[in-house]
Every structure is written in C-alpha cells, then in structure tokens.
C-alpha cells in the first residue's frame, strides 16, 4: 500500500506496509532525521494518524540529539517526563533499562496522570534481548468503534481519575523490591491526579478514543467495586488480541505511536537479558471529551517518599 503526499510540495510516496489488521504499519523507505523534507514528514503524519503505530527498521544512525530533533516530524516539540529525569547530556531523552526497573509490562498510555500528556512517543532500540522483549500496542479508536452501542453510550458519559501513585505491585506481580522502590522514589516523587473523559475526541482525526490504562485510579461517581469491574470491561475490549499489533524489535528500530489513540505493553519475558530503549515524547493537548469539556489537573503534591524525606530533613535541622 502507498500513501501519496504529492499535494503538499513535491511527489513523496511512502512505502507503508500494515503489520496487523487494525493497528501498526512498517515504513520501509525512510531514513529518519531532523531535516527530513516537509512532504515526507506530512506523509508520515498521515500514516501515523491512520495506523496509530509506525515502525522504522535500520535507524541506527540516530543518536540522542537527532532523536530529540525528530519531534517536528510528528507535529510538536519534545517534552520531558513530569517526574523521571532525562539521561545525562540530553534535554528530553528518557531511558528504559531493564536492569534498572525499566520494564513497562502493564497496559497504559504514556503519562495520562497529567492533563496535557504527550501526543506521541518515539522509541529507539539500543539493546534488545536475543529472544523476547516484544512490545504490543492496542488501538483505542477501533476499541471504541467496536463496542456494543449500549457500552458506547455508557462510556460517553464517564470520566476517570488518573494518577501516577497507582498500585505498582498489583499490575506487576513479578516486580523486584528495587523496581518498586524506584517507582515510589522517582516515578511518584510528585503525585499528580487528573480527571479525563473516558471518551476523548482525537484532536487531529476527530475519532472517539477510549482513554483508560493503568494510571486510572477510579471511574468517577462509582464505588471502588463498580469502578474496578467497569474499568475491566472497557480495558478488555481495548486489549483484545484482534485489536493489537506486536513488534519483534531489532537494534536500530524506531517505533512511533500516537499516544492519543493507543495503549502499549512491553512484554517482560526475557529474564536477565539486557533490554535498553530510549524515548522522546512529543508535547500534546489537554484532552477534550465529546461534550467539549476539557480534562482537569486536580492536584500535584509531593509523594509519600518526598514527604518522608522532608520530615527527616526538618527533624535533623530542628
Ligand atoms: Fe509507556
């Protein structure tokens, strides 16, 4: 299949090969770089809007600086994570290293505990296990479209509270104590709580998407019991295998996903083998629900670990 961008400035044809039926495509004839021409960049954005995740093999020429420089291709500026530090010598590059707790084996959309969370993520593979370590993405637009009408009507009315202070252990039963400590001390060093509509209107495609994932603490207005069960119903529709794509990584691959229309899960099946990937995210808009209401950041406070550290410091100086 080809996507033509000849209406832009010059004739540009991307070689786009779908990977799964509902989400994901490989782009075969592009060498990613910050100075990619406007027509090719536009064609890539169109392909991303359609396929939700794009895979680019053989991008080993990229370094951290050129990785940071790719965000305009995807329609925005680079943005760093609200709590996790960037790697030394960079402004916006985050590293996920399996040796230091970087195992995102739980379904989520990146950074939804914040209101204007990133519109896209650009992930670059530096070290990949000989076997295992695949990533799976799910399409939250098709998940909404294929809900029974009764569930769509219900979802349309719902809002949910998202936070980074979620139950890390319950979503990762095999997490080490070190992983959990790092989650508390770094990831949840500042605790954010944001209310989002469960159904978000995609700002570029106008599609309705389900906005859930592991940062959801509660569906508003429901008991914890009902919230947990209802969350499960919608989340299971999102992650049905027919609604996903799975990518077998090679060193030098780049995957870019529309973080406004997907969830993802990094499979933790490679034991002590090293897996090291680096990520740059593209700044996004505050989500808007189908009634025009915008998501609201409700609170931003020091996490339990930071409060305890402050208490110790205060006691020491008293
Ligand atoms: Fe992620």
Spell out the residues 6+ positions from residue 56 whose beta carbon is closer than 8 angstroms to its own.
26, 27, 30, 32, 253, 254, 255, 256
- pLDDT, residue 100, reads 79
**Residue 311 reports pLDDT greater than 80:** no
- pLDDT, residue 171, reads 67
- pLDDT, residue 209, reads 98
Distance from the alpha carbon of residue 82 to the mean position of ligand 1, in angstroms: 14
**Residue 183 reports pLDDT greater than 90:** no
Distance from the alpha carbon of residue 47 to the mean position of ligand 1, in angstroms: 21
Distance from the alpha carbon of residue 106 to the mean position of ligand 1, in angstroms: 9
Alpha-carbon distance of 71 to 90, in angstroms, equals 15
- Altogether, the residues listed in the chain come to a count of 318
Distance from the alpha carbon of residue 9 to the mean position of ligand 1, in angstroms: 35
- The tens digit of pLDDT for each residue in 223-266 reads 999 999 999 999 999 999 999 999 999 999 999 999 999 999 99
Distance from the alpha carbon of residue 318 to the mean position of ligand 1, in angstroms: 42
Distance from the alpha carbon of residue 181 to the mean position of ligand 1, in angstroms: 19
Distance from the alpha carbon of residue 12 to the mean position of ligand 1, in angstroms: 31
Alpha-carbon distance of 104 to 307, in angstroms, equals 26
Q: What are the backbone dihedrals phi and psi of residue 281, each rounded to the nearest 5 degrees, phi first?
A: -110, 155
- pLDDT, residue 306, reads 66
The structure's pTM equals 0.91
Distance from the alpha carbon of residue 109 to the mean position of ligand 1, in angstroms: 6
- pLDDT, residue 314, reads 45
- The tens digit of pLDDT for each residue in 142-164 reads 999 999 999 999 999 999 999 99
Distance from the alpha carbon of residue 236 to the mean position of ligand 1, in angstroms: 18
The CA-to-CA distance between both ends of the chain, in Å, stands at: 70
Average pLDDT, the chain: 91
CB 24 within 8 A of CB 18: yes
pLDDT bin (cut points 50, 70, 90) of residue 310 is low
- pLDDT, residue 232, reads 98
- pLDDT, residue 5, reads 44
Distance from the alpha carbon of residue 259 to the mean position of ligand 1, in angstroms: 9
């Amino acid at each position: 299949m080809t996507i033509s961008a000849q209406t832009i400035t010059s004739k540009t044809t991307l070689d786009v090969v779908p990977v799964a039926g509902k989400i994901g495509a490989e782009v075969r004839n592009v060498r990613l770089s910050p100075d990619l021409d406007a027509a090719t960049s536009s064609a890539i954005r169109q392909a991303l809007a359609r396929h939700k995740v794009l895979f680019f093999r053989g991008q080993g020429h990229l370094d951290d600086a050129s990785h940071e420089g790719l965000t305009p291709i995807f329609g925005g500026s680079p943005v760093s994570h609200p709590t996790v530090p960037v790697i030394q010598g960079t402004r916006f590059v985050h590293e996920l290293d399996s040796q230091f707790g970087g195992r995102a084996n739980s379904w989520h959309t990146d950074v939804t505990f914040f209101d204007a969370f990133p519109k896209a993520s650009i992930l670059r593979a530096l070290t990949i296990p000989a076997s295992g370590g695949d990533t799976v993405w799910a399409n939250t637009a098709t998940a909404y479209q294929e809900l029974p009408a009764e569930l769509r009507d219900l979802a349309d009315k719902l809002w949910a509270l998202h936070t980074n202070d979620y139950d890390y252990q319950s979503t990762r039963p095999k997490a080490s104590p070190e992983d959990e400590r790092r989650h508390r001390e770094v990831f949840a060093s500042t605790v954010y709580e944001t209310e989002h509509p469960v159904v978000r209107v995609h700002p570029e495609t106008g599609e309705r998407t389900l906005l859930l994932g592991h940062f959801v603490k509660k569906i508003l207005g429901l008991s914890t019991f009902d919230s947990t069960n209802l969350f499960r119903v919608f989340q299971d529709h999102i992650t049905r295998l027919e609604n996903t794509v799975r990518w077998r990584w090679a060193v030098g691959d780049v995957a870019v996903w529309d973080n406004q229309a997907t969830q993802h899960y990094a499979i933790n099946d490679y034991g002590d083998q090293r897996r090291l990937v680096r990520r740059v995210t593209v700044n996004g808009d505050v989500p808007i629900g189908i009634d025009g209401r915008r998501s609201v950041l409700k609170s931003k406070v020091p996490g339990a670990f930071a409060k305890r550290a402050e208490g110790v410091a205060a006691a020491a100086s008293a």
